[in-house]
Amino acid sequence: MTPELLIGSITLFVLSIFLGFELITKVPAMLHTPLMSGANAISGISVVGALIGANVAYDGGETLVSGLLAFLAIVLAMINVIGGFAVTNRMLNMIAGKNKRKED
């Protein structure tokens, strides 16, 4: 990895942290759950990217470090995806519970 690529990657990472912080602080508390559940579900894209990255690393012959990083990326992204669906399911169950109580 060249120093320019490393500096660019670190810069992108830091900027995304600041952007994410600013975005979340501007969202009203009432919208946090739907926003987070939707954003977590989008993390499925990270799973696909990690799988593609693992394949590229395997084809390039660099399997140890990049394979471990790809595995870690897949595990963390899947935790995020499952958490997003769990939050969405819980939110929908809460809404369904309110509707059932109104009907009774």
Domain spans of the chain, in order of start: 30-103
Residue matched to tokens 């590229």: 56
pLDDT in tens, 17-70: 898 888 778 877 667 667 776 677 677 787 887 788 777 777 777 778 777 888
Instruction: Please give the Cα distance from 56 to 43 (Å, whole number).
Output: 20
Distances (CA, A) of 99 to 11, 17, 44, 87, 93: 47, 38, 31, 19, 10
DSSP codes, 88-100: HHHHHHHHHHHHH
pLDDT tens digits, residue range 58-101? Answer: 777 777 877 788 888 888 888 888 887 887 788 778 877 766 66
| N-to-C CA span, the chain | 64
